[in-house]
Amino acid sequence: MVTFVATPIGNLGDITLRALEALRGADVIFCEDTRRSLKLLNHFEIKKPLVACHKFNEQSAAEKLADLAEEGKEVAVVTDAGTPVISDPGSILVNALRRRGIPYTLAPGPCAFVAALVLSGLPADTFAFLGFLRGRRGEKRAFLRTYADFCGTLCLYSAPQDVDADIALLYEVFGPREGCAVREITKVHESAVRFSLAEGLPGEKRGEYVLLVRGAEKRENPLNSLSERAHIDHYMAQGMSEKEALKAAARDRGVPKSALYKFTVRPKEE
């Protein structure tokens, strides 16, 4: 069995009993940085063979991991901190195991953006995790624009040297929305600071950040001001069938199709 193991993002007391069981029971542990994982394992007095698995060798590591699992070895997979795969190596491993029909599981636990979402106090019923912004500035801007009308909270990671530039770009795309910068999660100096994208985040930037941005204000669809029949006719005039137009109008109004069906029944004289 291969077990992907979530590890603490700061406070080592956040390790789960199941995570410890998986690490102690493993024949070998695949880890993003053997030096960082060794500190964690030494703290809990766990001594196991370690295999490096990072973004530069994940493909070859995936084949080695699958081979070991097929030999009947118990394998654990960890990253530097948090949950594997989430903005960390692991997805290539998962897909290699799926292709070869090898069973795997997750010992869940800490995840930085989930913790930050809780600490921020911003709406958490709907949200999108964007990870790190990657590429050139223009590519980042184009990516963010696809979320310009998203009404949920946006969550992204930012390195200390990128925080100011990332916030400036968020303001350029989203305007003067409210943001929250969360850092040092579960540590002594944990903080969640609300700020305006227009004004930026004050102070020296240290440590990894989770930036959260309040979602877009929900905009009323102008078509909803039409009568139900006129709304359906609008889509039919664009070439939709009556069934397709009914579905589109219902989606706009946030109602089931059945609520609009009576407006498609025309008098016989029509």
pLDDT in tens, 71-104: 999 999 999 999 999 999 999 999 999 999 999 9
pLDDT in tens, 125-184: 999 999 999 999 999 999 999 999 899 999 999 999 999 999 999 999 999 999 999 999
The residues, any chain, with a CB within 8 Å of residue 167's CB and separated by 6 or more, are 179, 197, 200, 201, 211
State residue 57 phi and psi, 5-degree precision.
-135, 15
Q: Which two tokens stand for residue 66?
A: 């699958």
State residue 132 phi and psi, 5-degree precision.
-85, 140
What pLDDT score does 62 carry?
96
Q: Do 103 and 11 sit in the same domain of this protein?
A: yes
The torsion region of residue 64 among left (phi > 0), alpha (psi -120 to 50) and beta comes to: alpha
Q: Do 181 and 208 sit in the same domain of this protein?
A: yes
* 269 within some domain: no
Res. 268 pLDDT band, cuts 50 70 90: low
Q: Do 55 and 98 sit in the same domain of this protein?
A: yes
What's 39's DSSP letter?
A: H
**Residue where one domain finishes, among candidates 88, 110, 132:** 110
Total structural domains within the chain: 3
* Res 265 pLDDT > 70: yes
Nearest to 22 by CA among 7, 36, 39, 5: 5
Label the pairing between strands 209-213 and 178-183. antiparallel
Q: Do 135 and 43 sit in the same domain of this protein?
A: no
Res. 8 pLDDT band, cuts 50 70 90: very high
Q: Do 104 and 120 sit in the same domain of this protein?
A: no
Q: Do 171 and 190 sit in the same domain of this protein?
A: yes
* 270 within some domain: no
* Res 270 pLDDT > 70: no
